[in-house]
Amino acid sequence: MTAVRDATDARQLRRVALSGLLGTAVEFYDFLVYGTVAALVFGDLFFPAADPAAGTVAAFGTFAAGYVARPLGGIVFGHFGDRLGRKSMMLATMVLMGVGSFLIGLLPTYDTIGVWAPVLLVLLRVVQGIAIGGEWGGATLMVAEHADGRPRGRWTSLTQLGAPLGTVLSTAVVTLVAALPDEQFRAWGWRVPFLLSLVLLFAGLYVRLKVTESPLFRALKEERAPARLPLLDVVRRPRAVLMAAGAGIGAFTAQSLLTSFMVSYAVGHGFSRTQVLTGVTLASCTALLVLPCAGALSDRFGRRPVVLAGAALSAATAFPVFALVDTGRPGLLILALVLGHGVAQSTMYGPLGALLTEMFGTRVRYTGASLGYQTATLLGAGFSPLIAGSLLAAYGSSTPVALLLTAGAAVTALTVWRVRETSRDRFGAEQHQQNRSHRKEPTDEST
């Protein structure tokens, strides 16, 4: 009987891991397609320079949609994920993202409805941000809590693969439609990647509907122990959230500087956009190999040593990466992106799913891990390109930008140095007694 139960649990874990990978990849595809298409045509179609009102919407809406909406999504879906369940929130975030992306593909442009076109576009971008803000927590927690007693680092790293896989998919689809004649691409071709979201949505829902709820959350429901206000429980003891955010800042700083910022930086140094996107794609393919390796290593040697190694590698390669790009040679550009993003950043990012989920107790894990992760996204990925662009304009050199990349790695290293090793912890071991007594579960298991 035990062998049958173990086989069933293992099969369910594989299904949950697959649903997390596919769902996260679909959501990142939707989220990243917007950025790529926006760089190609949205400026002319939705934000004409002749209309000051449209320019104002672009200036303030882009910031709100890209950065503020993600932590908001983490808070909202975290609350209901800790109150109602992980699985239902995974399904809700996928529907929200898929429908929002599909509607972008149907939007009239500025020439048709005027300033309402950019307003609706930014609102739908906010919907995308909220959806992806809640996606990571649900997908990662479902895998981590199903894998309790098994190597969580290896299994949760499969969810982390969603980001680079989504990058590869979005870049490939946009590259195909961008090969259309310019008139056709501007007329209807740009809509195709967004309309495909509906197909991907049904495929993702098909997989996710087959998974079962987290066994740890089921135990909470059976004993009527879910937290009433998980966000309040988390912020009352904020150290865990602050440590989770600090642990992720280095990975997100490297991600933003070596992808979105690097596109404009490299183009400014004479590379074509195609050459840069090729480099980003190859770096993402490298990440698909490095991420699960980093997760597996964190099971064997601990989360802290692997993340620290990634932070040290990111800091050590910061100046060489920009020096390689400054040569103006395409091969060295690809090497720089593969080394900095594909290897160093992925080594930090691979164990992050396991590390952040292990910092919080079961009753508040969705809220705490999501808030920490999305705060790191806001601080690391949200502000780094703006700071880097200002430094480059002020000093005319990549040296301050490399220092910024090094600083992000240093924040992660110093934070993780202060975190207790959690790779050997069992989620279920601390839960049962706390559920029975209905005590308020600690939000910080890392101290």
Write out pLDDT tens, residues 159-205. 888 888 888 888 888 878 878 888 888 889 999 999 988 888 888 88
The per-residue pLDDT for 46 is 84
Task: Write the pLDDT tens digit of every residue in 100-154.
Answer: 889 999 999 888 898 888 889 888 888 888 988 888 888 888 888 888 777 888 9
**Whole-number pLDDT of residue 69:** 85
432-445: average pLDDT: 46
pLDDT at position 53, please?
Answer: 61
Classify the phi-psi angles of 302: left when phi > 0, otherwise alpha if psi is within -120 to 50, otherwise beta.
left
Q: Is the pLDDT of residue 440 over 50?
A: no
Structure tokens at 368: 């705490």
Compare 419 and 22 and report the one with higher pLDDT: 419
In whole angstroms, what is the distance from residue 125 CA to residue 62 CA? 8
Give me the sign of the Cα torsion angle 56, 61, 63, 66. negative
Percent of the chain with pLDDT over 90: 33
Does the pLDDT of residue 4 top 50, yes or no? no
pLDDT at 210: 82
Confidence class for position 441, pLDDT limits 50, 70, 90? very low
Quote the distance between the C-alpha of residue 309 and its chain's center.
Answer: 21
**What is the model's pTM?**
0.86
Dump pLDDT digits (tens) for 50-91: 666 665 556 455 655 767 788 899 999 998 989 888 888 989
For range 285-295, the mean pLDDT: 94
Cα–Cα distance for residue pair 250/269, rounded to 1 Å: 25
pLDDT of residue 52: 63
CA 348, CA 352: separation in Å to the nearest integer?
7
pLDDT bucket at 410, cuts 50 / 70 / 90? very high
The 10s digit of each residue's pLDDT in 303-327 is 999 999 999 999 999 999 999 999 9
Q: Is the pLDDT of residue 439 over 70?
A: no
**Is-contact 356 248, C-beta < 8 A?**
yes
- Answer with the residue of higher pLDDT: 350 or 268: 350
